[in-house]
Each structure stands twice: as C-alpha cells, then as structure tokens.
Amino acid sequence: MVHAPSRPPAGSPPVRVNLYSDTQTRPTAAMKAAMMAAEVGDEQAGLDPTIDALCDRMAALLGTEAAMFLPSGTMCNRIALLTHCRPGDEVLAHATAHILTAEGGGSAALNGVQITGLAGADGQFDAATLAAAASVRSRYAMPQTLAVVEQTSNFGGGTVWPLERLRSVAETAHAHGMATHMDGARLMNAAIAAGVPARDMAAGYDSVWLDFTKGLGAPLGAVLCGSADFIDRAWVWKQRLGGALRQGGICAAACLYALDHHVARLAEDHANARALAEGLAGIPGITVQMPQTNLVFFDTEATAVTAAELAARARARGVMIGAMGRFRARACTHLDVSRAQVNEAVEAIAGLV
C-alpha cells in the first residue's frame, strides 16, 4: 500500500518534482476553460447534457451499451461489486489487486464479499490459475460470482495485461459461471503502451471503468461502463451511496477535454518513466523494475535506507515519491512532470543514498 506523505517538517522547500502519483496532476488552463464553459443540469433527473455526452462517448469507446459517471474509481469498483455480487459471495482477483489492498477493506465492509487473491507475476494471473481456483458449486462453497482484472496492474509495476491473456481469463470466468470486471484505472496507459484499442482490451468484460484523475489529468471523475441492464441496476447503488450529482457536467467537461487532448500524450509519460528508471538504475544499491507504462518501482534494501526514509529525505529536497513497502518505492510520471524534472529527481535521489 502507498504510505500517505506526511506533512513536511517546517522549513521544507516547496515540491518541485511530484512523482508521488499521477493523481497529483492538476487541470490545465485549457481544461479549466472547458469546465467553465460546460452546459450543466441536474444529472439525477437526466438533465446534464455534458455528463450524457461523456457517458455516450465512453460507452462507444469501450464497446458497451451504457455508462455512468461517478466521482472516483474506487466508487466504480464498489458499485460494480455491489451490482454483480451478493453478501457472502466470493470474488477472484490477483493478490495485489486494488480492490483487495488499497480500498480500506470496502469490499468486506460494504459489499460483504470475500476476495480470494490469486498468484501470478507482475500483478497478473492467467486462465489456468483462475480455473484452478474455481470451486465446484455446492451448498458448502461460497458462490463464486466475479473475476476481476486490473489494467494496468498498479502494484505489479504498472504492467500491461496482454490481450490474449485478458480474453482467456474472461472466457474461463464465464465458463465457470462468473461475471467479469475490469478495474481500468489506467486503461488508456495500457492501450497506448500496447498499441491496442481500449475497446479490444475491454471486450469480454461485463463491466469496466476508466479513471480520469490519473494520467488523463482531470480533477474528478471516473466512468463505469457495461450493459444497459447492468448500468440500470448500478444506478440504484449510485443513489444509495450518495453518488448522484447535480451540476456534475462541470467535471464531466474536464473528462471530455482529457479524451480529446491527454490520451496520445501518455506516451510522453511512458518515455519519461523509462528515462527515470534508467537513471535510478545507475545509482549504487538501487534495483529497478523497468517500467512498461508510467509507474517506476525500485528497491532500496541494498542501500540500508527504507523506502519511507528515502521518501522523507527526498521531500526535504523538494521531490515527492511513494513508499510501497519497507524497501519498495514508487515514482510515477504524469503530465506535470517534464524530462528536466525527471533528471532533477534522479540527481536528488542519488545524493540521498
């Protein structure tokens, strides 16, 4: 789990290079202008044309019948599980999946489901592992109702699930009577990195969502997609959880702007991540997992400096990174990080270990 950054000591310099997460992005001036110009209305009553436009576009983008705008990706996961499952059901996902490791136990507290973590390298499991975990349906076993993949795999290192693996996992899940859900927080990063349309990656998944507050740079918003029937049932949970919005089009406009202007440029973040990884790999004692997208994970154990200690020292120099474990750190590139800032971060970290 990412350790939240503590308040810096008095006298610490301002943050100059923010590699803590791609959630740290700020809306550009042009995105703010689009937000201010948005036509808005009461979404709950179906009167917000900007939200409607975003949902229609997302359904077309991901090849689904319908879509629903929500404040956050975690709410997308929560509502998807509430719609697919009943209390007492079992969900199969990777052992490092966001729904299991980074949502405050929401699946247990609010969904009442058990998540069984599956093994696999780089945050991914395969169809054979899923099939082996599938139980024979009986009165003694929990109903296995859902299989979940995370594209990209955050704690796996920002890795991209290959298209063939996604398809075989979905087919295996359906063959065993399970629905399928894709946590698509960084789905567009995966699509750009692999050169595969997001629609093709989402094919075979009964629900899928995209987060706009990470690499796409919007201040708020995620869109959950699925069949018309699924979204209709999901709306009940959106209402119950207080997710129905009023003039939410002001935020949906930022998401539409991101789709027009911030998707192709994700390749720049990936290139910066590779440059960052190469620079960190040149620091004695640091072992780097070479990135596939915009997440750079590195190990500090050989330096005898914990990841949290390194993060604190770096913050005192104006650089923010994340601690993901005792000796596992993460740096994340995004639209507010330039190549010059990447070089500055490498130089700062080299001086700290």
Q: How confident is the model over 74-91, as pLDDT tens digits?
A: 999 999 999 999 999 999
Q: How many helices (H) and strands (E) does the chain have?
A: 14, 13
pLDDT at position 65 is 98
| Rounded (10°) angle between helices 266-281 and 339-350 | 20
Looking only at the bridges linking them, the beta strands covering 90-94 and 114-118 are parallel
Q: Where are the domains of the chain?
A: 17-26+265-350, 38-261
Q: Name which of 6, 18, 123 is nearest 348 in CA terms.
A: 18
**Whole-angstrom distance, CA of residue 274 vs CA of residue 154:** 16
Query: What predicted TM-score, i.e. pTM, was given to this entire model?
Result: 0.95
- Residue 321, SS3 per DSSP: coil
Predicted local distance difference test score (pLDDT) of residue 136: 83
Neighbours of 60 (CB within 10 A): 12
How many of the other CB atoms lie within 10 Å of CB of 39?
A: 12
Task: Supply the pLDDT for residue 7.
Answer: 66
pLDDT in tens, the chain (353 residues): 455 555 666 777 899 999 999 999 999 999 999 999 999 999 988 999 999 999 999 999 999 999 999 999 999 999 999 999 999 999 999 999 999 999 999 999 999 999 999 999 999 999 999 999 998 888 888 999 999 999 999 999 999 999 999 999 999 999 999 999 999 999 999 999 999 999 999 999 999 999 999 999 999 999 999 999 999 999 999 999 999 999 999 999 999 999 999 999 999 999 999 999 999 999 999 999 999 999 999 999 999 999 999 999 999 999 999 999 999 999 999 999 999 999 999 999 999 98
The pLDDT score that the predictor gives to residue 76 is: 98
In the block, residue with structure tokens 């997460």: 21
Which pLDDT does position 6 carry in this prediction? Answer: 58
Instruction: Return the beta strands (E) in the chain as ranges.
Output: 17-18, 66-70, 90-94, 114-118, 144-150, 179-184, 207-211, 222-226, 287-289, 295-299, 319-320, 322-323, 328-332
In this predicted structure, what is the pLDDT of residue 139?
Answer: 87
Residue 302 to residue 132: CA distance in whole angstroms:
37
Question: What Cα–Cα distance (Å) separates residue 22 from each residue in 112, 157, 168, 299, 321?
Answer: 30, 14, 30, 20, 11
pLDDT at 300: 96
Reading the block at residue 59, the tokens are 């359904």
Return d(Cα 23, Cα 212) in angstroms, integer: 9
Domain topology for 38-261: Aspartate Aminotransferase; domain 2 (3.40.640)
Name the DSSP class of 203: T
Q: Are 198 and 62 in contact (CB under 8 A)?
A: yes
Domain 17-26+265-350 has CATH 3.30.470.20: no
Report d(CA 308, CA 284) in Å as an integer. Answer: 18
Cβ contacts of 340 within 8 Å, gap of 6 or more: none
Distance from C-alpha of 283 to C-alpha of 88, rounded to nearest angstrom? 49
User: Using an 8 Å Cβ cutoff, are 91 and 148 in contact?
Assistant: yes
